[in-house]
Chains A and B, each alone.
Chain A
Amino acid sequence: MNWGRAKTILIIMFLTVDIFLLCVLLQTRSDYEQLPKETVEKTVQILQDKGIKIQTETVPRQRTKNQNIVLKNYFSNPAQAAELMLGICEVKLSDDENHEYLFENEEATLKVKDTFFTYTSKKKVMPYGSGEKTDTKIVQENLKKLGFKANEFTVLQEQNSSGLFEGRIIPLYNGKKICGISMNVKADKEGILSLEGHWFSSAEAESYGNEPLLDITAVLVNVIYRNDQWPKSVEAIESCFYTSGDYLESREISATPIYVITDQSGHQKYFDARVGNEIE
């Protein structure tokens, strides 16, 4: 018996089987990570039949992981936060009992009450001229200088108000927005003038890989049973995280996965991605 030839045949056979199995595995994974196109189309059809305007492209097909994001309060240790934001500074007030603090240097002041913070710059205001477009990049650059990591925040609702940039900053985790936490920013064309609100940084993700989230199609189908006839049209659907505003005075909180549906007028509603309920 020619063992050399037999081995060659076996190698070819096994490699063929391996390639086949790899294809099956990749296909299975892909099916698991993405919603079937037919399901999305059928869902869109049902909604359209009920008079809700929606495009197939609006529905994200990518399935999201079931995980909680543990968030740590940026201002639970005010001295540490002040060092990050102001650098060397003077402690003007440090009342541990009432959790009230005031830090100051030549450039700015930082006030912390419980975990609500107010950062105020002492720089001269340089407003945008009429017709001049506000620049988000300036805000992003300056936030980085204040110690906020670029991939952990995004700027929303920016507007020009009397020559000043005004907007809302919310945290991100792996590119996904964390709703319920925000800080308001005011900036001129040179830098940040004021910043206030609550801020949390993501510490870790608790994954529940064995329990998939509800598909967005299931949430969308439920929308047709609403009594308030909302929405007339679905403009955008986003997969995000959410934490309740009730717990912002805490040292550590967790954010859970949600779907955010935006209607034609920009109005948003949050839906728990685990059970499909609307979050009031």
Chain B
Amino acid sequence: MLKKYLKNLLLFFSVLLMFFLAGQIWFGSYFLPDGYSYITSSIHSHIINPIQKWFDKGHEAGFSQNMKVLLKPNKIVLNHSGNRVMIQNGHPDFEKVRSFSDEFIYKVLTGEYSVRIKETISTDTYHSLLKGKTIYVDYGKDCDFRLFSSTLCDQSSNLLSEDISIVSGYIIGLHDSVMNDVSLYITDKKSNTAYRYIIEMNKNALDAQLQEYLAGASTGNILSYSFELNFHKEQENSASKVLFDPLILLDLMPSEIPSVQMLGTEEEHRSRFEEMTEDVLEVFSINSRTMRRYTDLENARVFVENNATLTMYPNGRLEYQTVQGSRGLDISNSTDRTNYDVSRAMADSVDFVAALCSYMPETYFEHLQISSGLVSQTERQTSYKLSFDYCVNGVPVRWQTEDGYHAAIEMEVTEGYLTSYRHCLWGYKAYEGERQQCLPLLTAADQLVNTLHNGTEPLHIETADYCYVVEEAGAVVPKWYGRVDGVERIFE
């Protein structure tokens, strides 16, 4: 009996051993030099990845889709019958109002709504419109119209292209006349000409929609444009120390915004940072096996390539800098470098940022917003400095370092080559239960005057918005940021 069992056992093990040895020879053989990884990588590249792409509707959806996420209005101001409300990203109605205004401009740009009359209007008329029934969509930055149009309707040229070169926002006007039409007002920032396009459409439906939004979004605070308070021009009887852009909204009362804290613990961020190292190196085309990598005494990991250095700091910051004289990392989608304009620079940059963010939690990319102006300063410009803010409820989070305040992503692209890149990978979230008070802009401007005013020329505040500042010690405090006399500043 025992002999029978032993024979069975021996037979079983000899068969098993045969399969094991055959497997070892096969997978370690000449035919499959990479062994099992050949099979798994083949399955991934030929089966899993194509299927995944079908279901992946995230930020790898292409330039136009990514731009729709990254280029959102800074604020939308609704005005109707003396009631005025400012809606920013994070407001419960923001997406509803944004898609409503996007749909309107989409239909105008694609010709679905026909333009009956086009006329130029004065700047004062443009401003006075904002007191009537209007929806003012403000992007807070100058944007090349072709890029703006591509983002909104996938067409770089359309009916408005011959008038508009640079745009920073538009107004949908429902004037009080008996005519059942709607007007679109856009100022070309290049020529400083304001245009009115009278659109053929049912005004009443739009009017009802606007009233509905206003009813749900009222905040109680009274907002005034600076032109309404005459803060946009010098007064005849008294010298002004500070002037505001006419379209800056001033809230005379202190307001409160939610407190912001880091998303997860520092430790969690560090371990995620560690995990994505290989992926980051791949995006920057850096050989992880090089001998020229080290961890410095401050625990920053440095990867040195012939033409650039990538540094990953323990505080979640990533820095890529090419060496002087080197072209940098090729991030261009095309080999043709002629006529490298802002649209192409933006397309390359957005694809690059999206590729890097695909290795991060999905919500990170959704929090990003383009913060730099999207215009070419000169015809021959080939180098662009672009920045992206990490926003919490539409409010950007800026990082304070020894050399100033920084957006989440700051990059420089020259003719399709990435020459410098700085990225803070940590995420933040708002705590609605905990709120922090913000000084009114007028109070903040007073303090700015005390610091900057030279006693002669008035300061000119061109833009002003709230932001969160992550101080060097780690605390997150709300402050004002804006452009003062052409220089980006943070003030409180």
Contacts and interface: CB of A to CB of B under 8 A. Distances in A.
A221 interface: no
Q: Which of A206, A244, A254 counts the most B-chain CB atoms under 10 A from its CB?
A: A254
A89 B330 CA distance: 55
Contact of A18 (B21, B29, B299): B21
A18 B18 contact: yes
A152 B294 CA distance: 21
Contact of A256 (B7, B24, B291, B295): B291
B116 interface: no
Contact of B7 (A7, A25, A68): A7
Contacts of B294: 247, 250-254
Contacts of B295: 250-253
Interface stretch (B8-16, B140-148, B433-441): B8-16
A244 B11 CA distance: 57
B18 A256 contact: no
A14 interface: yes
Contacts of B10: 11
Contact of A11 (B14, B291, B297): B14
B111 interface: no
A15 interface: yes
B21 A22 contact: yes
A157 interface: no
B211 to A, nearest CB: 64
Nearest to B292: A244
B296 interface: yes
Interface in A1-56: 4, 7-8, 10-11, 14-15, 17-18, 21-22, 24-25, 28-29, 32
A250 B304 CA distance: 13
Given A7-B11, A244-B291, A254-B293, A24 B33 contact: no
A243 B18 contact: no
Contacts of A8: 7
B15 to A, nearest CB: 6
A127 to B, nearest CB: 38
Given A4-B4, A256-B289, A251 B29 contact: no
Interface in B264-323: 289-297, 299, 302
A199 interface: no
Contacts of B296: 249-251
Nearest to B21: A21
Nearest to A12: B14
B80 to A, nearest CB: 61
B291 A243 contact: yes
B29 A28 contact: yes
A132 B291 CA distance: 42
A210 interface: yes
Given A11-B14, A14-B14, A25-B25, A99 B293 contact: no
Contacts of B17: 14, 18
A175 B76 CA distance: 69
Nearest to B297: A251
A11 B289 CA distance: 48
B28 A28 contact: yes
A250 to B, nearest CB: 4
B291 A242 contact: yes
B163 interface: no
A202 interface: no
B303 to A, nearest CB: 10
A115 interface: yes
A274 interface: yes
A230 interface: no
A84 B133 CA distance: 79
A14 B294 CA distance: 53
A29 B28 CA distance: 9
A4 B7 contact: yes
A251 B3 CA distance: 64
Interface in A50-77: 68, 76
B297 A115 contact: yes
Contacts of A247: 292, 294
Interface string B37-62: 10000000000000000000000000
Nearest to B290: A256
Contacts of A82: none
Q: Which of B4, B10, B34 counts the most A-chain CB atoms under 10 A from its CB?
A: B10
Nearest to A279: B291
Contact of A17 (B18, B28, B29, B302): B18
Interface string B126-159: 0000000000000000000000000000000000
A257 B302 CA distance: 20
Contacts of B37: 210
Contacts of B28: 25, 28-29, 32
A11 B21 CA distance: 16
Given A22-B21, A99-B297, A15 B291 contact: no
B263 interface: no
B444 interface: no
A23 to B, nearest CB: 10
B275 to A, nearest CB: 16
Nearest to B11: A11
A206 B296 CA distance: 19
A208 B29 CA distance: 17
Contact of B289 (A68, A251, A252): A68
B373 interface: no
A254 B291 contact: yes
B475 interface: no
A243 B4 CA distance: 62
Given A14-B11, A14-B15, A251-B295, A274 B35 contact: no
Contacts of A193: none
A187 interface: no
A255 interface: yes
B477 to A, nearest CB: 28
Contacts of A256: 289-291
B291 A21 contact: no
A240 to B, nearest CB: 12
B121 interface: no
Give 7 nearest A-B pairs by CB, closest first: A252-B295, A250-B294, A14-B14, A21-B21, A256-B291, A247-B294, A253-B294
19 contacts: A7-B11, A8-B7, A10-B11, A11-B7, A11-B10, A11-B11, A14-B18, A18-B14, A18-B18, A24-B25, A25-B28, A28-B29, A244-B291, A244-B292, A249-B296, A250-B294, A250-B302, A253-B293, A253-B295
Given A14-B17, A99-B297, 14 more contacts: A7-B8, A14-B11, A18-B21, A21-B25, A68-B289, A247-B294, A249-B296, A250-B296, A250-B297, A250-B302, A251-B296, A251-B297, A252-B294, A256-B290
